[in-house]
Structure 1
Amino acid sequence: MAEPWLPADDVAAHLGITKDTVYTWIAEKAMPAHKVGRLWKFQASEIDDWVRRGGAARERVS
């Protein structure tokens, strides 16, 4: 079974952060996200891997 695509609200709840922080991390920390129309969608496995690699702790990506 394919992994479901999650909305920003679910990712924010999963990580215990605000939805605004999710959008900031997409722009400034290269958080893995996929644009579907006007919406950002996420896969929990990609987010978890990114966090484990230190993506959320990194300084700004140029």
Structure 2
Amino acid sequence: MPNEDILTVKELAEYLKIAEKTAYRFASEGKVPGFKVGSAWRFRKSEIDRWIAEQEQKQEGEQK
């Protein structure tokens, strides 16, 4: 049974509408919440959604 809550780098890139290379760089630099399974990055969709909300709040705070 596939767990759709877990995203690969490719799926994360598609979800955020960014290049795979950028998604991998963000993960490697700790800019997005993720974890490694062996050498492959994985991301919980719920944590990515929370991260997106945090980014939006930061931007709103900067605009004030």
One-letter amino acid matched to 2:10: D
Letter in structure 2 aligned against 1:39: A
**Where do 5+ consecutive residues of structure 2 fail to align?**
60-64
Identity of aligned residues (%): 35
Kindly name which structure, 1 or 2, has the bigger radius of gyration based on alpha carbons.
2
Map of 1:54 onto structure 2: 55
Instruction: Assess, with a 3 A threshold, how the Cα gap between structure 1 residues 3 and 23 changes in structure 2: closer, same or farther.
Output: same
Q: Secondary structure at the match of 2:41?
A: strand
Runs (4+) of structure 1 exceeding 6 A deviation are none
Q: State the structure with bigger RCO (CA 8 A, min sep 6), 1 or 2.
A: 1
Cα RMSD, aligned residues only? 2.3
Would you say 1:13 and 2:14 are equivalent positions? Answer: yes
Correspondence for 2:33: 32
**Aligned residues between the structures:** 55
